[in-house]
């Protein structure tokens, strides 16, 4: 069983030019839940002046369907964000920083270690309220400004996260720099140092290696992957396409490999097409165009 | 060292709507050779009424640059095609059929075994003239009409090819149905039965798994892959996108994994952009849009 964490409503939509309404975001999330997705990053608690696509997170969370087994996660980058997140009925909180100091400065206007220090009380607060917390480490597979990031530094971040009570770690390839050999090696290192810590992987398909990286992570034993419906979040004709790996494409791959996800592929394809209409440009997904292997048999 | 067989001038162009002139095809091939590609499927000897994109193969072969170490291959499907191929100065001949009987009937208007029988004298003739011959087996990873193809039947085809003197085998995923787990397993079976036979793999990216399949084949020990510049041969917005895996995207992956190809990636990217202009639609390649990982460091 592979767990897909659908990040389209958050990492996907926040990178789209078209801003979806609260109702549209709730409709998207509802469709995704109906398809069998049980883990969804639904919102981000960030200043709407900076990312207007993520405004009104509370209103989204008020309206999403509550189903047994379905967990809603939200992204939190600051102490103010955590206050909002805790009040909004999320199941899981994702706290995020970049392992690259330069990248973290550009993104969060502080050093990686300052971000880490700022997160300590935030994580304590969430844990005090019995929320699950995941520590998301961006640029874990390389940074466009600093190049490769040493695993020993990633280990330091993970150890700090774990000391603060984080329940799971996600290693994120924020700008699509990972390659499958590296993914396998990093997961092996992670398992060696943190054999009992739940690990998720988050890939972007910037250089076409997103699915190969998912496969390499799977081979190394990872069973949790972030993905976004239709691969939203990037435009295939933008100079730097930054879409997440495409949910229905990896669900299709896992199905073909005999691995279950609990998600209905045909529904996912319909949702990808619906989403394509909403974001108003062609999406990156392949299976939404070609159809699944099984359905080609005539 | 990984060997890339560039198939853009053949499998790529024959699926494009725009028909390139002989001069343009020679220019494309020359650019590819200049980038360091040493193995190229340059032409197909097929009835130009059926595939006008491949007309004038002899004139293309007359004008391509001859360089030490560079080998030109051409695709042959019939005895008449072999006569033309032998007269045209090719280094290698690719004979092809589909392992799926239904697919072979639709493609070549005869059964797989009839194609195999027809190829016997063709292969003998090429071997008599000291040409290398590769046996290409289409739909080896599944057929849109018949579903999965048994490896025992593929073994029968390979054995017949080898008895006739074929030097190498290419397993082709003609309609993009392969998945990485299956690729690994089939290559393992191939190695078990044919440990000394050179194997190439040919993938299409129809369902987004092309590069993951290349990676899985590489892991299983394969060091020869077909690919087409820019991923030409399919349109990202056609209902059934059928592009080959993209040359520069897999060269980039191998470079990132520390594996050499002997090919200049920057030149490949320029050729992909040139080709995009010629075929008059946006190409599937990712690295041609995002740039290689190394060049993102500012």
- B95-109 pLDDT, tens per residue? 999 999 999 999 889
Q: Give residue B77's pLDDT.
A: 86
The residue written with tokens 């319909």 in the block is A270
Which of these ranges, B69-73, B104-108, B224-228, has the smallest mean pLDDT?
Answer: B104-108
The domain covering B1-74+245-298 belongs, at the CATH homologous superfamily level, to Aldolase class I (3.20.20.70)
Inform me whether the C-beta atom of residue A282 falls under 8 Å from chain B C-beta atoms.
yes
The structural domains of chain B, with segments of one domain joined by +, span: 1-74+245-298, 91-222
DSSP 8-state code for residue B180: H
**CATH pick for B91-222 out of 3.20.20.70, 3.40.390.10, 3.40.50.300, 3.50.50.60:** 3.20.20.70
Residue B230 falls in which region: left (phi positive, over 0), alpha (psi -120 to 50) or beta = left
Reported as a pLDDT band with limits 50, 70 and 90, residue A296 is low
Nearest to A286 by CA among B209, B8, B177: B209
- Name the minimum distance, in Å, from the CA of A289 to any CA of chain B: 5
Enumerate residues 149 to 188 of chain B having a beta carbon within 8 A of any beta carbon in chain A.
Answer: 175-177, 179-182
Q: Give residue A104's pLDDT.
A: 93
Inform me whether the C-beta atom of residue B293 falls under 8 Å from chain A C-beta atoms.
yes
Instruction: Give whole-number Cα distances, A37 to A214, B4, B74, B273, in Å.
Output: 18, 39, 48, 39
Q: Nearest-CA residue of chain A relative to B141?
A: A293
Inform me whether the C-beta atom of residue A132 falls under 8 Å from chain B C-beta atoms.
no
> Mean of the pLDDT values across residues A263-273?
98
> Measured between alpha carbons, how far is A189 from A200 in angstroms, rounded to an integer?
14
For the cut 60, the answer to whether the pLDDT of residue A235 exceeds it is no
Both tokens of residue A248?
Answer: 């229905």
User: Which of A142, A176, A209 is closest, CB to CB, to B211?
Assistant: A209
Enumerate residues 248 to 267 of chain A having a beta carbon within 8 A of any beta carbon in chain B.
Answer: 249, 252-253, 256-258
Would you call A147 and B208 a contact, using CB atoms and an 8 Å cutoff? Answer: no
Would you call A208 and B286 a contact, using CB atoms and an 8 Å cutoff? Answer: yes
Respond yes or no: is residue A235 known to be catalytic: yes
Q: Does residue A134 sit in helix, strand or coil?
A: strand
Q: Nearest-CA residue of chain B relative to A285?
A: B208
Reported as a pLDDT band with limits 50, 70 and 90, residue B298 is very low
Q: For residue A289, list chain B residues with Cβ-Cβ distance below 8 A.
A: 236-241
Residue partners of A135: CB distance under 8 A and separation at least 6 = A94, A95, A96, A123, A157, A158, A161, A162, A166, A168, A169, A170
Q: Give residue A31's pLDDT.
A: 98
User: Which of A146, A241, A290 is closest, CB to CB, to B241?
Assistant: A290
For the cut 50, the answer to whether the pLDDT of residue B126 exceeds it is yes
Tell me which of A208, A237, A295 to substitute to probe the interface with B (most B C-beta atoms closer than 10 Å): A208
> Measured between alpha carbons, how far is B15 from B242 in angstroms, rounded to an integer?
8
- Name the minimum distance, in Å, from the CA of B144 to any CA of chain A: 5
User: Which of A207, A214, A297 is closest, CB to CB, to B252?
Assistant: A207
Both tokens of residue A162?
Answer: 């774990």
Reported as a pLDDT band with limits 50, 70 and 90, residue A74 is very high
DSSP 8-state code for residue B233: T
Q: For residue B252, list chain A residues with Cβ-Cβ distance below 8 A.
A: 207-208
Nearest to B139 by CA among B157, B122, B123: B157
User: Which of B142, B176, B246 is closest, CB to CB, to A290?
Assistant: B176
Would you call A282 and B237 a contact, using CB atoms and an 8 Å cutoff? Answer: yes
Q: Give residue A93's pLDDT.
A: 95
Q: For residue A207, list chain B residues with Cβ-Cβ distance below 8 A.
A: 249, 252-253, 286-287, 290, 292-293
For the cut 70, the answer to whether the pLDDT of residue A236 exceeds it is no
Nearest to B94 by CA among B243, B198, B241: B198
> Measured between alpha carbons, how far is B269 from B249 in angstroms, rounded to an integer?
9
- Name the minimum distance, in Å, from the CA of A292 to any CA of chain B: 7
**Cβ contacts from A onto B, under 8 A:** 136
Q: Give residue B24's pLDDT.
A: 98
Which spans in chain A are helix H? 22-34, 57-63, 79-87, 101-108, 112-128, 151-163, 180-193, 210-219, 247-256, 265-279, 287-290
User: Which of B182, B238, B246 is closest, CB to CB, to A208?
Assistant: B246
B231, B249 Cβ separation under 8 angstroms? yes
Radius of gyration for chain A, computed over Cα atoms and rounded to the nearest angstrom: 18
Phi, psi (rounded to 5 degrees) for B176? 65, 50
- Name the minimum distance, in Å, from the CA of A132 to any CA of chain B: 33
Would you call B289 and A180 a contact, using CB atoms and an 8 Å cutoff? Answer: no
Reported as a pLDDT band with limits 50, 70 and 90, residue B236 is very low
Q: Give residue A27's pLDDT.
A: 98
Enumerate residues 12 to 71 of chain B having a beta carbon within 8 A of any beta carbon in chain A.
Answer: none
Instruction: Give whole-number Cα distances, B20 to A228, B42, B131, B275, in Å.
Output: 38, 13, 28, 10
- Name the minimum distance, in Å, from the CA of B216 to any CA of chain A: 8
For the cut 70, the answer to whether the pLDDT of residue A297 exceeds it is no
For the cut 70, the answer to whether the pLDDT of residue A298 exceeds it is no
Q: Give residue A213's pLDDT.
A: 98
Mean pLDDT taken over chain A: 93
Nearest to B253 by CA among A226, A218, A146, A213: A213
- A140-193 pLDDT, tens per residue? 999 999 999 999 999 999 999 999 999 999 999 998 999 999 999 999 999 999
> Mean of the pLDDT values across residues B31-49?
95
For the cut 80, the answer to whether the pLDDT of residue A204 exceeds it is yes
What ipTM was estimated for this complex? 0.94
> Measured between alpha carbons, how far is B146 from A174 in angstroms, rounded to an integer?
41
Inform me whether the C-beta atom of residue A277 falls under 8 Å from chain B C-beta atoms.
no
Alpha-carbon torsion A99, A104, A106, A111, what sign?
A: negative
> Measured between alpha carbons, how far is B99 from B108 in angstroms, rounded to an integer?
12
Q: How many CA atoms lie within 13 A of B200 on its CB side?
A: 23
CATH no., domain A3-296: 3.20.20.70
Reported as a pLDDT band with limits 50, 70 and 90, residue B297 is low
- Name the minimum distance, in Å, from the CA of B39 to any CA of chain A: 23
Residue partners of A2: CB distance under 8 A and separation at least 6 = A218, A223, A224, A225, A254, A259, A260, A261
**Angle B185-B181-A137 from CA coordinates, rounded to 5°:** 145
Q: For residue A240, list chain B residues with Cβ-Cβ distance below 8 A.
A: 289-291
Phi, psi (rounded to 5 degrees) for A119? -80, -20
User: Which of A177, A181, A207 is closest, CB to CB, to B257?
Assistant: A181
For the cut 80, the answer to whether the pLDDT of residue B122 exceeds it is yes
For the cut 90, the answer to whether the pLDDT of residue A96 exceeds it is yes
User: Which of A146, A212, A292 is closest, CB to CB, to B215?
Assistant: A212
For the cut 70, the answer to whether the pLDDT of residue B93 exceeds it is yes
DSSP 8-state code for residue B52: G
- B152-206 pLDDT, tens per residue? 999 999 999 999 999 999 999 998 999 999 999 999 999 999 999 999 999 999 9
Would you call A289 and B241 a contact, using CB atoms and an 8 Å cutoff? Answer: yes
pTM of the entire structure? 0.96
More confident residue, A78 or B208: B208
Radius of gyration for chain B, computed over Cα atoms and rounded to the nearest angstrom: 18
Would you call B212 and A246 a contact, using CB atoms and an 8 Å cutoff? Answer: no
């Amino acid at each position: 069983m592979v767990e897909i964490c659908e990040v389209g409503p958050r990492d996907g939509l926040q990178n789209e030019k078209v801003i979806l309404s609260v109702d549209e975001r709730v409709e998207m999330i509802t469709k995704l839940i109906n398809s069998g997705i049980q883990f969804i990053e639904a919102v981000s608690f960030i200043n709407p002046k900076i990312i207007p696509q993520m405004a009104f997170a509370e209103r989204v969370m008020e309206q999403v369907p509550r189903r047994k087994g379905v967990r809603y996660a939200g992204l939190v980058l600051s102490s103010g964000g955590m206050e909002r997140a805790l009040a909004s009925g999320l199941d899981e909180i994702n706290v995020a920083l970049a392992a690259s100091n330069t990248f973290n400065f550009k993104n969060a206007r502080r050093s990686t270690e300052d971000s880490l220090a700022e997160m300590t009380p935030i994580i304590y607060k969430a844990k005090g309220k019995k929320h699950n917390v995941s520590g998301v480490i961006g640029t874990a597979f390389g940074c466009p400004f600093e190049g490769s990031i040493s695993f020993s530094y990633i280990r330091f971040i993970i150890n700090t996260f774990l000391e603060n009570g984080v329940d799971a770690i996600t290693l994120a390839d924020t700008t699509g720099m990972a390659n499958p050999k590296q993914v396998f090696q990093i997961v092996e290192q992670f398992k060696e140092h943190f054999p009992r810590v739940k690990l998720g992987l988050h890939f972007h398909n910037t250089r076409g290696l997103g699915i190969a990286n998912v496969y390499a992570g799977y081979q190394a034993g990872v069973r949790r992957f972030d993905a976004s419906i239709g691969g939203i979040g990037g435009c295939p004709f933008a100079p730097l396409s930054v879409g997440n790996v495409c949910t229905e494409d990896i669900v299709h791959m896992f199905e073909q490999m005999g691995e279950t996800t609990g998600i209905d592929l045909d529904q996912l394809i319909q949702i990808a097409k619906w989403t394509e209409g909403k974001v108003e440009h062609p999406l990156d997904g392949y299976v939404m165009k070609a159809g699944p292997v099984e359905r080609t048999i005539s």
